[in-house]
Amino acid sequence: MRPAVVRVARGLAIAVAVIAWAVAAHYTSALVDESSWGALLAIAPFAVIAAGFAWQSTRRGLMLAPLAAATLALALAWPTLARNVGWLYFVQHVGTNLLLGLGFGRTLAAGHEPLCTRVARTIHGAVSPALARYTRQVTVAWTMFFAATVAISCLLFAFGTIEAWSTFANLLTMPLVGLMFLGEYLVRLKLLPDDRSSILDAVRAYRRTSPTATPVNER
């Protein structure tokens, strides 16, 4: 099978999986009173990430011990968790966007290279002053986007209905992220017409770029 076909098939499979997860998350958090499957679906992403970090750690045994304790605690609390699936998704949604916002925002501090500048450097190998200014502004925009997402999520969960919150958190957040990528691409075409990198280039470069900024004086 051709590599291009494999990439397209993989992309479609990921898209279908993301859409299916979002619909299932909306259903179990907003439309049913109790769901063990919903609780499992809400916890699974964090559990997989935590297990991966623990397994790859040089202190695997030390890391796996608290993971086992957390698993036991979840098992004991499972009936309560299954009755409060909405809270689980809320913590997941706010926690994920808060961490992403902090990941972008901390790279704007003095002595660090903005995250989007690092992504551009990964794509191009060198960054011009104009591109450096632009990518810093893009880093600010992403930081504000994630901060706004956290604020809206908290307000809807506190003062709106669970259905309204779930629609925003589970059904609209990913499309909004996609619109941010598209908007940034269109603005870049206008301001930096010589930059021909695509949205997929940026996504691949971001995946290769560590979210932890490296201080300028350490590079």
Provide DSSP, 125-151.
SS--HHHHHHHHHHHHHHHHHHHHHHH
Task: Look at residues 143, 148, 188 and name the one whose alpha carbon lies nearest to residue 168.
Answer: 148
Extract long-range pairs of 178-186: CB within 8 Å, 24+ residues apart. 180/141, 180/142, 180/145, 184/138, 184/141
Cβ atoms of 178 and 161 within 8 Å: the answer is no
CA distances to 28, 70, 72, 80 from 76, rounded to whole Å, are: 21, 10, 6, 9
CA distance 167 to 22: 9
Q: What is the pLDDT of residue 4?
A: 63
Q: What is the pLDDT along the chain (219 residues), one digit of tens a residue?
A: 566 666 667 767 877 877 877 777 777 777 666 667 777 777 777 677 777 766 676 776 677 777 778 777 877 777 877 777 888 889 889 988 999 999 999 999 988 899 999 888 888 878 888 889 999 999 999 999 999 999 999 999 999 998 999 999 999 999 999 999 899 989 988 888 877 676 676 666 666 665 444 444 444
Q: State which H helix or E strand residue 44 sits in.
A: helix 36-56
